[in-house]
A and B are shown apart, each in its own frame.
Chain A
Amino acid sequence: NAGVTQTPKFRILKIGQSMTLQCTQDMNHNYMYWYRQDPGMGLKLIYYSVGAGITDKGEVPNGYNVSRSTTEDFPLRLELAAPSQTSVYFCASSYPGGSNQPQHFGDGTRLSIL
């Protein structure tokens, strides 16, 4: 039972480069989320999706894009990497049902922009 799988685990990018962080889940969850965690801080919501073809912005969406073509996959795209995007990125998923459905997290992608 893989749960939420994120790839890659680590990546170093140069300023201005682009990349896609991959996230896939095998729990048939409708809802998926992307968070970032900066050192010494809590997680902040970047984007979320309530199903295939439906996405919406979270608290810190600037500089990122998402798409949701299947239930299983929710990739996060950085178009023009900036040093401020150095962070650990977590993907999560949950069943519908609002607040009483806990989110299941992947192990994160550690991204450094130099």
Chain B
Amino acid sequence: DQQVKQNSPSLSVQEGRISILNCDYTNSMFDYFLWYKKYPAEGPTFLISISSIKDKNEDGRFTVFLNKSAKHLSLHIVPSQPGDSAVYFCAASAGSSQGAQKLVFGQGTRLTINP
């Protein structure tokens, strides 16, 4: 029972173009969504997040869109740069237990930016 799914294991994009990474979820109790970026042999690094009461959040080159009716979110990176090549994880949480954020992660999408 995978509550958070990233159906594209990999994505290849040309430098300067837009990268769009997708994520679907099944649990309607999720109220907060996050994207993490991971380089090889390193831990995940927080990138951007969105609350379920919003449908868009923007931070520089990164924008996350949330479609609650479709239970779908996407991460847009524009323009894409070589340093964006990494594995991107979508994660979600359903409230917090004693204030803790119990994240459920997708499988990840490996993004490769080609020069």
A42 and B100 within 8 A (CB): no
Confirm or deny: B60 has a beta carbon within 8 angstroms of a beta carbon on chain A. Answer: no
Q: A42–B36 Cα gap in the complex (Å)? A: 11
Residues of B within 8 A of A (CB-CB), count = 32
B75, chain A: closest CB distance, angstroms: 15
A107 and B102 within 8 A (CB): no
Contact of A50 among B49, B95, B99 (CB under 8 A): B99
Interface residues of A in 74-114 (CB under 8 A from B): 90, 92, 94, 96-108
Confirm or deny: A15 has a beta carbon within 8 angstroms of a beta carbon on chain B. Answer: no
A98 and B108 within 8 A (CB): no
A45 and B103 within 8 A (CB): yes
Name B34's closest neighbour in chain A (CB-CB).
A102
Contact of B105 among A44, A56, A99 (CB under 8 A): A44
List the B side residues contacting A106 at CB < 8 Å.
43
Confirm or deny: A58 has a beta carbon within 8 angstroms of a beta carbon on chain B. Answer: yes
Q: A98–B49 Cα gap in the complex (Å)? A: 13
A40, chain B: closest CB distance, angstroms: 6
Q: How many A residues are at the interface, by size bracket?
A: 20 to 34
Name A92's closest neighbour in chain B (CB-CB).
B43
**Most chain A beta-carbon neighbours within 10 Å: one of B42, B93, B103:** B103
List the B side residues contacting A94 at CB < 8 Å.
101
B4 and A42 within 8 A (CB): yes
B96 and A98 within 8 A (CB): yes
List the A side residues contacting B31 at CB < 8 Å.
99
List the A side residues contacting B95 at CB < 8 Å.
98-99
B2, chain A: closest CB distance, angstroms: 8
A105 and B45 within 8 A (CB): yes
A-B contact pairs, 29 of them (CB 8 A): A4-B43, A30-B99, A31-B99, A35-B105, A42-B4, A42-B89, A42-B91, A42-B108, A43-B91, A45-B103, A45-B104, A48-B100, A50-B99, A50-B100, A90-B43, A94-B101, A98-B99, A98-B101, A99-B49, A99-B51, A99-B93, A102-B34, A102-B49, A103-B103, A105-B36, A105-B43, A105-B45, A106-B43, A107-B41
